[in-house]
Amino acid sequence: MKVLLLGSGGREHALAWKMAQSDRLEKLYVAPGNAGTAEIAGSPDLAVNDFPGIAEFVAKEGIDLLVVGPEEPLAGGIRDFLEADGRFGDLMIIGPGKAGARLEGSKDFAKEFMFRHHIPTAAYRTVTADSLDEGKGFLRGLTPPYVLKADGLAAGKGVLILNSLPEAERELEEMLAGKFGKASSRVVIEEYLSGIEISVFALTDGIHYKILGSAKDYKRIGEGDTGLNTGGMGAVSPVPFADEAFNRKVEERIIAPTVNGLRADGIDYKGFLFFGLINCGGEPKVIEYNVRMGDPETEVVIPRISSDLLRLFEATACGTLSEAAFETDPRSCVTVMLVAGGYPESYRKGDAIRIGDTGECLVFQAGTKQTGEGVVTNGGRVIAVGSYGKSIREALEGAYRGVEQVDFSGRYFRKDIGQDLMTYTDR
Ligand code: AMP
Ligand code: GLY
């Protein structure tokens, strides 16, 4: 099979690494890719939103399978674009069309979907500038803190959590007036849910699904979950508080109803589903859907899949996922993200990266670039260094040993990945 994977992060390096282990693979391309993916795949110079360029490449190279990493091309309708092109009747695509991608692209759509299909989530009200007073009324009926979400994609910045009512009312007005551009012309006001967050990932062919695994992500830049939000500073899989009873609730109340709901709504969904959940005293509720894998969650969930990922993708595209082999590795897996100094605010690019002997570690590159002088930093999140272990503790020891082997000027990482989970586990 000839495969084109879109994206350039640690997520894509992990997906490429796993696909490269398949005997079904004939040729792999990652576009635009990074220095890590370039070691195992071709790197055509194509932007993920360049649909005509991608179509020409698929035609010229005879690509059999397209795997879409990030959300933008999905929300922009890459599947619909290629399906409308008569040349690609046989092309297999992992990632939903525009209709399915609205689960991530519109918070209001996702909330309506969940209420329609009785999927547990926070109470909400969607408001526009015309219904500002109604929105303020809804806010007054809630108890603090207050959650305001821009309806559209806002590069992970569109969610505000505010402690006082006057603050929430002011922010609501500012959002509706364009604080996040068009993304916040509609705002979803939500009931605040308290509990620990967990992400669960599934792959679906629109009828059947495989639960790929769970992970906990560390979103804040500072230790003890302080400071600014980032794309993710590390991840752990599986999540120890997600015991059998919890996982059963997640499957019965959330995953199965989501897959069935999509089908009932006439949305043919073939791709990943990322459930951002919160554990409210043992009861899982959905905070958000994403229509792609998470980053850095992919770097811990994908290595725990022991089955052939390309065969799983083929089965997904053909609607035969229920027949595909799916096994997971019982070990824990963790990853620690090394980021550029200053991230998530302004940071430098172009610093030389030295990678020593990382032994058995899983090293997935993110913001890196190959130059004549070697590999240099090319983004905020630079490299994810991970490890398996019989316990989370053992995996963390392995990962942090690997971290010491990777260096670049200004390198920063959190030293407390996984520490909050130690109270739930002796693993
Ligand atoms: P989202 O982009 O919807 O995932 O929201 C970003 C973050 O805001 C989540 O990861 C949660 O930490 C927090 N959050 C979102 N919605 C809620 C809610 N209803 N209650 C509590 N926290 C929330
Ligand atoms: N790590 C969170 C995300 O990928 O959205």
Encode pLDDT of 312-347 as tens digits: 999 999 999 999 999 999 999 999 999 999 999 999
CA of 151 to the centre of ligand 1 (A): 13
pLDDT (tens digit per residue) in 390-424: 999 999 999 999 999 999 999 999 999 999 998 87
Percent of residues, the chain, with pLDDT higher than 70: 99
Nearest-atom number in ligand 1 for the CA of 276 is: 4
399-to-277, 414, 416 alpha-carbon distances in Å? 26, 12, 12
Q: For 162-178, what is the mean pLDDT?
A: 94
Nearest-atom number in ligand 1 for the CA of 192 is: 20
Tell which phi-psi region holds residue 70, choosing left (phi > 0), alpha (psi between -120 and 50) or beta: beta
pLDDT > 90? residue 427: no
pLDDT > 70? residue 371: yes
DSSP state of 143: P
Any idea which fold 123-190 has?
Answer: Dna Ligase; domain 1 (3.30.1490)
pLDDT > 70? residue 425: no
- Residue that has been written with the tokens 């390309």 in this structure: 310
Q: For 254-273, what is the mean pLDDT?
A: 98
How is 12-34 classified by DSSP, letter by letter?
A: HHHHHHHHTT-TT-SEEEEEE--
CA of 189 to the centre of ligand 2 (A): 21
Which of 71, 230, 295, 302 maximizes ligand 2 atoms within 8 Å of its Cβ, making it the mutation to test the pocket? Answer: 295
Specify the residue with its C-alpha closest to ligand 1, atom 14. 287
Nearest-atom number in ligand 1 for the CA of 219 is: 10
Query: How do the domains of the chain map onto residue ranges?
Result: 2-98, 123-190
For position 426, what pLDDT does the model report?
A: 52
**Residue 125 — pLDDT band, cuts 50, 70, 90?**
very high
CA of 134 to the centre of ligand 2 (A): 32
Specify the residue with its C-alpha closest to ligand 2, atom 4. 294
Specify the residue with its C-alpha closest to ligand 1, atom 6. 159
Domain range 2-98, CATH architecture: 3-Layer(aba) Sandwich (3.40)
Smallest Cα–Cα separation from 340: which of 407, 263, 253? Answer: 407
